[in-house]
Structure 1
């Protein structure tokens, strides 16, 4: 057949545990993102915005189990996925660079539309940029990827964490400098009562507040090592469920447990300040991300856990659509051009709402996948990546 056709990964070619991990990442990211949909936590310490024991308990729970663990987990999956994408393109006889360039550019485009017209907390732009940096490493040997990942996680972050400890010794109130009460109340007023264009201007300002030139270095040293680690695991094929690899996954699980959990709890058994918060996120976050990923791979080997965790795979297979769905639904609930509930919701209400919306997403994803091969935004992404229309309907599959 002379007319080659590059189709998306389907059916048996998919790694089921990766879809489950992806679904788990979407769930965890939602817990972290939810407060910023309805409160100005970008500019304020959440403890200054919500009072009450239940709210504080929810804040601590999300901080320990989710904060900095799931966007790093998704970064891991992105690196993993890029290697699979490359292997598949080459196996089909296609040139990798035009495909991956289009793939990253379309992701950047979707990220810009999301960040500037839906919600300021977009991560897709950053993934597209760091994904372009990952291209410098895609030919590297697995051991090279691993060394770079470990160096980038530990060297700059331990150095900066140490410098922060010194700074905190001289100025214990250092972390308060990051907050701005005036900006918090201004943004809260606009999101609660503003029209679409007024909110859009605020959205752009909020996006730039986090994604300015100064923060690029911090984003790269946070996300790039997880991209590299994901690429390492993909090249080693440790997550494909082969019996001979399970011992390696167990060792990885143990290492991530020993590193991730103590660092994640650091502000709770020492002192909560800018330094401990920084190490909690930059070392503890990636550590627990790997812990979650390896836990899923190991648990999916047990029939009862496979049954319990499998519904996450429905969300994971439509991860881009589900991520954007969360933003669209929540901004319509909370922003002035929607129901206008911004600033009127307690943290514990948002926590419950996160679970309810995610359960709905599992159901909708299941129903969608009965008729379609992939989600609406995945379809747009693939069609533009392959520069040809990819049929979304299941009945179109041909051997």
Structure 2
């Protein structure tokens, strides 16, 4: 059962009749811990795209297996690929339910919906700012903002139905992936047919020509291209205008075509899972230790196994795509959504077990601080990384080896852990959280922390 610290004076007691931001004393600390872990972890996946050409993945997969960059990539891909984003998405769904659980004002039916949609639309604006002003093509806020607009009708739905909807989103993604795979296989067959016809000096049809060109284009894309890498590096080491111009087509594609084709289903699948899990008490630490242990073992057992097989499949495809297609082997990558959801739940279960065991309270508090300021810390990562790597900053783009990028990650982690702890000693929330809440409620929110006895809300373990 959740308990709220009773150490308020009458003046300090929250007004339950008013729609207001959540107080520090009402936060669910386990959610902050998981959010902080996801916030720090997502930089593991983002840092290569901040510091290396977008084509870096093909180069890495073509390296010898004993190369440090290959080994680093193997670990990161197997353990973290997609999982931090999955956790973020799940917690976004949980946070939406927390916000929508607030009571309406007595004289304004659906007043919570007004605030919710204002909050969500501002998130879209922040996402556009991250993509087009801070110049981070991998922004996720825009996607969450648009997906968040769809969630209000589902706020009272039962967990089983939410999981069914999540499953439908995964099936849609699976269908899209299978169609793309079928198209690739058809192009391969068309290419092989074209080679035979050319040996016989027979003219190709337009369809056969297109299939041949498509397959040759795929083979070219999976091979390292130093010339293209050099062109990307040159543009990214330019001034702000040069980087903006170079990234504009990519940002526009990600915020439009890619969103409607892929990102929306990817995000919604995990968001609905997160909403269901929150209603079941998973994130608020209400389940039994035994159940968390089972989820940990099953999540890691399924997720890490599929992650390793998917990585090996990527290596094989990059080195010889024709052989992989011709073998008709099962495409493990098709299980991407299941794999990343399973591993994400393994991560979350491990954190919840550590939290309730109280063996590393300092780590739990550090993660909670980062998680409480996740919005500020997320955009801070964009600002720090672009200033380190882009040409209008220190210009380190393309200068570090893949494994060396993770030294930068460690430095940013340390900074954000210290900064979050120091900041929250004096202030109730992060700076951008304050801006977002003030815009949501259209009223300047109190920022300075009042030094009263505070205790976060923590779901009690099940009996």
Alignment TM class, shorter chain as reference: 0.7 to 0.9
User: How far did residue 203 of structure 1 move?
Assistant: 2.4
Residue 95 of structure 2 is aligned to residue 81 of structure 1:
yes
Map 1:155-194 to 2 at 5 A. 155-163=171-179, 171=188, 176=219, 181=225, 184-192=229-237, 194=238
Map 1:271-282 to 2 at 5 A. 272-273=316-317, 276=331, 278-279=333-334, 281-282=336-337
Residue 236 of structure 2 is aligned to residue 196 of structure 1:
no
User: How far did residue 310 of structure 1 move?
Assistant: 2.8
User: How far did residue 350 of structure 1 move?
Assistant: 0.6
5+ long unaligned stretches in structure 2: 1-10, 189-214, 322-329, 455-463
Map 1:19-30 to 2 at 5 A. 19-30=32-43
Give CA deviations for 1:104-161 in whole Å, capped at 9, x if unaligned: 11111111111001122211101111111223422322221011112322x2344445
Give CA deviations for 1:280-302 in whole Å, capped at 9, x if unaligned: 64331222112212221222111
Partners of 1:301 and 1:73 in 2: CA distance: 19
My pick for the range that moved more, 83-92 or 336-345, is 83-92
Residue 23 of structure 2 is aligned to residue 10 of structure 1:
yes
SS in 1 for 2:21: coil
Answer yes or no: is the 8 Å Cα contact 1:67–1:281 preserved in 2: no
My pick for the range that moved more, 212-221 or 340-349, is 212-221
**Alignment TM-score, normalising by the size of structure 2:** 0.77
Partners of 2:84 and 2:216 in 1: CA distance: 28
SS in 1 for 2:102: helix
SS in 1 for 2:429: coil
Give CA deviations for 1:281-327 in whole Å, capped at 9, x if unaligned: 43312221122122212221112144433311111110011111111
Answer yes or no: is the 8 Å Cα contact 1:58–1:351 preserved in 2: no
Partners of 2:447 and 2:62 in 1: CA distance: 45
State the match for 1:262 in structure 2: 305
Give CA deviations for 1:254-294 in whole Å, capped at 9, x if unaligned: 44334322221223455643884743643312221122122
Q: Cα RMSD (Å) of the superposition?
A: 3.2
Answer yes or no: is the 8 Å Cα contact 2:306–2:332 preserved in 1: no
SS in 2 for 1:133: coil
Map 1:266-345 to 2 at 5 A. 266-268=309-311, 272-273=316-317, 276=331, 278-279=333-334, 281-345=336-400
Going from structure 1 to structure 2, the CA distance change for 1:337 and 1:269 (only over 3 Å counts) comes to closer
My pick for the range that moved more, 388-397 or 269-278, is 269-278
Answer yes or no: is the 8 Å Cα contact 2:72–2:403 preserved in 1: yes
My pick for the range that moved more, 45-54 or 297-306, is 45-54
User: How far did residue 50 of structure 1 move?
Assistant: 7.8
Answer yes or no: is the 8 Å Cα contact 2:78–2:311 preserved in 1: no
My pick for the range that moved more, 168-177 or 247-256, is 168-177
State the match for 1:134 in structure 2: 151
My pick for the range that moved more, 294-303 or 368-377, is 294-303
Map 1:105-144 to 2 at 5 A. 105-118=121-134, 119-144=136-161
Going from structure 1 to structure 2, the CA distance change for 1:283 and 1:176 (only over 3 Å counts) comes to farther
Going from structure 1 to structure 2, the CA distance change for 1:89 and 1:203 (only over 3 Å counts) comes to farther
SS in 1 for 2:356: coil
Match of residue 46, structure 2, among 26, 33, 39: 33
User: How far did residue 6 of structure 1 move?
Assistant: 3.6
User: How far did residue 98 of structure 1 move?
Assistant: 0.6
Partners of 2:120 and 2:432 in 1: CA distance: 14
Partners of 1:369 and 1:224 in 2: CA distance: 32
Partners of 2:16 and 2:156 in 1: CA distance: 28
5+ long unaligned stretches in structure 1: none
Answer yes or no: is the 8 Å Cα contact 1:7–1:390 preserved in 2: no
State the match for 1:63 in structure 2: 77
Residue 275 of structure 2 is aligned to residue 231 of structure 1:
yes
Partners of 2:304 and 2:179 in 1: CA distance: 22
Answer yes or no: is the 8 Å Cα contact 2:105–2:111 preserved in 1: no
Partners of 1:99 and 1:267 in 2: CA distance: 42
Partners of 1:376 and 1:11 in 2: CA distance: 15
Going from structure 1 to structure 2, the CA distance change for 1:269 and 1:357 (only over 3 Å counts) comes to closer
Partners of 2:25 and 2:165 in 1: CA distance: 32
State the match for 2:257 in structure 1: 213
Answer yes or no: is the 8 Å Cα contact 1:315–1:361 preserved in 2: yes
Going from structure 1 to structure 2, the CA distance change for 1:276 and 1:369 (only over 3 Å counts) comes to farther
Answer yes or no: is the 8 Å Cα contact 1:256–1:290 preserved in 2: yes
State the match for 2:266 in structure 1: 222
Answer yes or no: is the 8 Å Cα contact 1:161–1:276 preserved in 2: no
Going from structure 1 to structure 2, the CA distance change for 1:108 and 1:65 (only over 3 Å counts) comes to same
